[in-house]
Amino acid sequence: MKAFKEKKGLGLAAKFILSITLLLITEIAVLSIYILDHERQILYDTLQEKGLALANNLAYNSQYGMLTANERILSNLVEGVIKQPDVAYCIIEDLNGNMLVSKQNKPEFRVPREIVRAAQESQESISQYFELPSGRDYYEISAPVTAEVRAATGDEEVLFQDRQASVKEKQGVVRIGISLERVDIAFKQAQEIIFSIGIAVTLLAIIVGIFLTHMVLAPVKQLVNATQIVAGGNLGHKVSVKASDEIGLLARSFNQMIETLRKTMTSIDRLNNEIAERRKVEEELRQDREYVASILETANQAFVGSDSEGLITNWNRCAEKTFGWLSKEVVGRRLSDVIFPRSVRADYERDIKHFLATGEGAFLNKTQESMGLHRGCRPFPIEMTIWHHKIGQQRHFFAFISDITERRRSEKLIFQKVEELNRSNRELEEFAYIASHDLQEPLRKVKTFGDRLIQKYKDVLEEQGRDYLMRMESAINRMQTLINDLLTYSRVTSRAQPFTLIDLNGILHEVLSDLEIKTEETNAQIHVDDLPAIEADPVQMRQLFQNLIGNALKFCKPEVPPCVEIRRVVDVPREEDTDDAPGIDKETCIIRVIDNGIGFEEKYKKQIFRVFQRLHGRKEYTGTGIGLAVCRKIVIRHGGLIEAESVPEKGSTFTIILPLRQSKKEEQKEA
């Protein structure tokens, strides 16, 4: 969420204060102008009324003086008037405009002649406003002086007693100048006072405006700041305005809006995340489907699919090659009619219907062999694995199918070869046994006659003759040993006993008893762990341990007493297959025979298990080199494995892995 950019200009507070100030100044100015103008007009009217009163009063009092032309009386009257404030001058004129009496306080006042004529001609009091070139203004007030005279005689006799027989005649004019200087001064003072009051009121208005602005705009500023914070992305911010007026209502509404917005944004974010996750999952599913479809399409096995009605839905390239039908030719057709001969269709349809009805299908998820049908109506053997998958409410069946015609031929050929090899091995073992057995008798005769020659003619023969006889006897003994070892090797399979449950501890005790003399001669130390009971041939187990322990006692270092350890290794499962013992399961017994003898190089660890293989000359160590070959053959017969590890002059370790229980397959093979 991006924060909005604030434009520069007058703030709301400044606008508010400026508006209030301008409004107050305008109101004060208008009111001041109105008041001043009104007060000025009142003063002008007051002075004008005063001047009219003075003029009328002077005109009335001057009647007698005018009739009698008494200047003293008129002068006294004018003197009394001129002393009045605001009177600038006072003049009494006759009808001809001649000044009878004139008094002037301010000599700068000059009266135009046209005003005099107007005053002479008028029968009423006249008040006119004038402004001098000096800027001073005044009122010119004139009043006619009238007198009552007798109407009958025409004499100018003043009638003071009988006024019924008299008429009024104009005798002259009284002119009084009323100065407005004092009014102007008062007006200026009033202006200054009002201006000062206006400035004070304006300042007070500004202060009050600032205070009111602060009161009004502080919550507004909080709302603005909160808006900027929220616009910056912080939806958890709230406005803390406690006012109960419209601003408080706005703040509470703002908080509710932000809370609603936060929940909405949270829901939108969650929805966006769910949408993104769903799109990701959908994309992964799409890629997986494409990947699986690519694998199925390019698989080296025929892949076919059908719906619950048995109609073909899937048919890959290998299926086209296996059955001879293109995908577009078979999709929508019945699967059993396309890939199975008539002899198999009924069984397949029955199994599918039974599964759809009961949910039980013994034929599913199993690799089974059957017969397929090529497009050319040629049946051929197949191997297939069928499984079912529910897509929505529809059940679909899929199968991987392989043409095993070549495998059948290979299996048949291998079976024939195995039979021939087994027959050859049996014949070879029988030949070896018979040959070894038949060689025993002539060899014994040769040995017997050789012994007699030595006994009877030992002293007669020369040294060379005796040497020949001794060599012949040695060769006969070696030949006899070889024949016996060969018989032993052949009897591992030809004279084998059935497997029974035996205690290896008892077998090992008998072996150590037989080797007791050799043990004492070499001063050897033999340490034995507690061994388990296993199913095995007891005679061959005895021969196995006797050969291994005998070799440990024989191939010892000079002047170093042999030390032999028979250890049982626990919790070391072995799962890998070997050429000698494929598929050894986890229920095995692992025994190690460890010695401190002369050892051998690691490169000979397989060679020593071959027949008649020796690493030392006959003069160094006796033997024919067949003992370890017999051990290997015994272990293999029991479905086990034997290995050797060694370091020259450090000793050797022989590891024997034997199953605790023999499988039925092995027992049937022995039978």
pLDDT digits 0-9 by tens, 416-433: 888 887 777 676 666 666
Residues recorded for the chain = 671
Least confident window among 305-314, 481-490, 534-543: 481-490
What whole-number distance in Å separates Cα of residue 164 and Cα of residue 82?
A: 35
Structure tokens belonging to residue 111: 């009266």
DSSP state for residue 531 in the 8-state scheme? P
What are 547-565's pLDDT values in tens digits? Answer: 899 888 888 888 888 999 9
Find out whether 553 and 564 touch, Cβ atoms under 8 Å: yes
Return d(Cα 57, Cα 176) in angstroms, integer. Answer: 11
Residue type, position 398, single letter: F
- Kindly give the pairing relationship between strand 563-569 and strand 525-528: parallel
Higher per-residue pLDDT: 570 or 396? 396
- Indicate whether this model's pTM tops 0.75: no
pLDDT of residue 577 exceeding 50: no
Q: pLDDT digit string (tens) for 257-291?
A: 877 877 888 888 888 888 888 888 888 888 887 88
pLDDT grade, residue 2 (50/70/90)? very low
Q: Which range (336-340, 514-518, 585-589) has the least confidence? A: 585-589
Q: Half-sphere exposure of residue 552, counting CA atoms within 13 Å on the CB side?
A: 31
**Rounded Cα distance, 88 and 132, in Å:** 13
- What one-character-per-residue DSSP string does 426-485 give? HHHHHHHHHHHHHHHHHHHHHHHHHHHHHHHHTTTS-HHHHHHHHHHHHHHHHHHHHHHH
CA dihedral 376, 381, 387, 393 (to 10 degrees): 20
Predicted pLDDT at 534: 92
Phi, psi for 320 (deg, rounded to 5): -60, -40
- CA distances in angstroms from 83 to 3, 105, 178, listed in the order given: 82, 9, 12
Q: What is the token pair recorded at 313?
A: 């839905």
pLDDT tens figures, 595-608: 998 888 888 788 78
Amino acid in the structure at residue 322? T
| pLDDT of 214 | 72
- Could you tell me the pLDDT band of residue 4, with boundaries at 50, 70 and 90? very low
